[in-house]
Structure 1
Amino acid sequence: MPPFSLRQHRPLAFFIAARGAATLAYQMAGVAVGWQIYGLTHRALDLGLVGLVQFIPSLLLTLYVGHLADRHDRRRIVSFALLAEAAALAGLAATTLLHGGSRETILLFVLAIGIGRAFEYSTMLALVPSLAEPEILPQAIAASSGVKQAATIVGPVLGGFLYLAGPAAVYGTSFILFLFAAVTILCIRIRRIPPAREPISIKTVFAGIGFIRSRPVLLGAVSLDLFAVLLGGATALLPIYARDILLTGPEGLGLLRGAPAVGALAASLYLARNPLRQRVGRVMFAAVALFGAMTVVFALSRSILLSFAALAILGWADMISIVIRASLIQLETPDEMRGRVSAVNAIFVSSSNELGEFESGLTAAWFGAVPAALIGGIGTLVVVLIWMRLFPELLKRERLQGDG
């Protein structure tokens, strides 16, 4: 396998810089939105609504976005999406300064951010294989994920401390970072054969679903992540844990939100230099099981140090699963289908993340934060056991590329 260095792959370096800036902005804004809206209402359900209003655009738009990504310049789609998210952050900053913010206003702008992310996320995933040769793609994905996770560490911490100057300071800084990311994406120069402009139809829009359904390994990988993270998404409850259980402030919330990224960054740095070469299916199942177990530990913890450690290990396990799933999808998908297949994957990811936040908020409203997190962790472990029986092809998968 050839040595991997970003200095030898300038377009990939530009892409990673843009992704890092956008992730930093998104994570900072997430801390501010969560703390602000919970401070206004003190309702767990409203934290769940933050996830729900981001999920709805993904559900409605992502398949169409995947079709666009296979027909048009992916860089421009990503850049315009980032500009839309920047505009939403500017609106949040302005309304917070002028009126102090309200639940309805915050959710409206979060919905706008969700629309931008529906266009950004899957198109950005489809862009990666155009920037790296197949032989180094798993390492490129790990390197990109590493920078993303570093931003996920810094973003919540920085957002938490900036919040001491008010939520508008967080939103304004995020606005600038989104602008930087949009411009940087446009600076990427790649050579790509223009795709065939097949007419849009129901068949072409849903082609990505058919592609994944025809490959049990891919279907098992993306659905495992969907149901595991959907159930184990305790991060939506962090404002409740920080304020009411661990008795800390916004800076403590920032540290907790960044904890999963600490583990994820460690895993991605390791995988960038030591790519997985065997038993990738078993490794993926083990990683998701560890994710569920650490969710249980976090649910029962009353110490901020133990909670941080549990979330960090959770993030480490999640990154192992992410790199395996992303590598399988990109290596087994032809370029003319990558937009639509990445769109399906994006729906699964947003379902597990944003819809998982809504599920956690709703369950917490019914049973309380601790039972909600505990149920989610146990549910993840049950999903792992069921999926091992449903998808033996994934369990037996040995290598990322060229294996059955």
Structure 2
Amino acid sequence: MPVHLNAPDPTQLHPVAGVRIGVAEAGIRKAGRKDLTVMLLDEGASIGGVFTQNRFCAAPVQICRQHLQAGAAVRAIVVNTGNANAGTGDDGLARARRSCQALAGLLQLRPEQVLPFSTGVIMEPLPIERIEAGLPAAIADARPAHWARAAEGIMTTDTVPKAASARARVGGVDITVTGIAKGAGMIRPNMATMLGFVATDAAIDPALMTALARELADGSFNRITIDGDTSTNDALLVIATHRAGNAPVTALDSADGQALKAALLSVARQLAQAIVRDGEGATKFITVRVEGGQTAGECRQVAYAIAHSPLVKTAFFASDPNLGRILAAVGYAGIADLDQTRIDLYLDEVHVATRGGRHPDYREEDGQRVMKQQEITVRVVLGRGGAADTVWTCDLSHDYVSINADYRS
């Protein structure tokens, strides 16, 4: 079961003016499940996207990059679950292009105005005929309020749909932000998450969209890990429809830019943390906070060493305060001149280690009390400077192995 995570209430997901969403059952991998989603954008929408750094990236990632780099005025997005269309070579590229052509033909658009996304099993041919057959139903279903349906329609091993909304005041005008994401395993984003779509009706200078998408990813999805694996299909798309009526935001560091980023980042972080809470087999949600570094980058480096460690993650699952595993991860994180005598380690409020050894007041029962909680904060103070950063992760359980062993069954 997910850790303190419930399915979103559809009534709390605000429609974004200029976006309509439709979902259909196309039988892409399994019958009787929502597996084909379209997002239809009004003319004039702006897009920013960031994609996986995995060099074995999927066909739809390659096509999305091509269409965005060509400067096409994107008007539609098609997402299928059940098949990743990754590791499929030239045939996979051809099938991804066919999905764009099919949706474009139905909407009287050019194929390059469509962005394709896929998630699911790798190295299997995309059943493009089923997608083509399902698109009319998805288009007919399109409504502004269908964010919750879309969150369900992009799931794979997720047990709970992931969606969030926020509102903010920008330039004296109320603006809306709503987003959805999917992901539960194969999560160590190197830009975003498995799939994430965040839209706002705010007006933003289109030239800022890619930088905005990267900032959002760096502040949210690039702070999570479940199993340390970067997917072939990771993608985060940020959409601005310019329908709110505010004066366009022309600088992200302006007062309006900061207000808009805060709303967007709030939604992105809720989605990113929901992925960790729904991690495959997860029973605990763990915040790893590293302080006192010379740079934020080295703080992340240490945080990820802890968050990726199978020994640390299994100790959390067992509620075992085997805290030497955390200190060992700090030590092998790769900071060559790290001074162990300046390191402090805390579990929530419990001071575990100081000056390179066990804190004199630390008691095993205090550590075990914290480790039994469903939500735990690990705080490491490096004693090297004033920088800090945070990563969110989960434990590693028996169920993680079972879920992934049975994934293709």
Q: TM-score range by the shorter chain?
A: under 0.3
Bigger RCO (CA 8 Å, 6+ sep): 1
Compute the TM-score of the two structures, normalised by the length of structure 1.
Answer: 0.26
Compute the TM-score of the two structures, normalised by the length of structure 2.
Answer: 0.26
Q: Which has the higher strand share?
A: 2
